[in-house]
Amino acid sequence: MSSPTTATPGSVRQVSLLLYSDDYTTRDAVRVAVGRRPARDVEVVSWRECATPEAVVEAVESTRFDGLILDGEAVPAGGLGLCRQLKEEIYECPPVLVLTGRPQDGWLAAWSHADHVVPHPLDPIALADGVAGLVRGELRA
């Protein structure tokens, strides 16, 4: 597992991310957009992919992640409702970035207690910047 996300100037923060979507093409697109180095000081050392809400809950309860990326358009349970559940039920829940169906869904992200939101269609720069900010703690509410 990765070390805590604190880093000294010039060092690289190695992070572990959980990615939830029922659609493997969305998961692939997110991994490609984020890449191995979403920022100079952030390196993704591991991904945990989940296709069901139950797998997400089990993973978050049993493993430490530096950030979660949840697909708000996932079926049968979207990432927005899952985010709210995790934030309310998991002690020290990792920061969460939610992928929304459209920019106007920002209010739903606020309801879900998401730390950051990126709308579809996915912009690789916005997604990489969002992940980097999320794991640095810059986007926490």
The answer, yes or no, to whether residue 138 has pLDDT greater than 90, is: no
Instruction: State if pTM tops 0.95.
Output: no
pLDDT of residue 101: 87
**In this predicted model, what pLDDT tens digit does every residue of 70-118 receive, in sequence order?**
999 999 999 999 999 999 999 999 999 999 988 788 788 889 999 999 9
Q: Report residue 56's pLDDT band, with 50, 70 and 90 as the boundaries.
A: very high
DSSP category for residue 105: G
Q: At residue 105, what are phi and psi to the nearest 5 degrees?
A: -85, 10
- Domain range summary for the chain, segments of one domain joined by +: 14-136
CATH superfamily of 14-136: Response regulator (3.40.50.2300)
Q: What is the pLDDT of residue 7?
A: 55
- In sequence order, the 6+-apart residues with CB closer than 8 A to the CB of 15 are 2, 5, 42, 43, 44, 45, 66, 67, 135
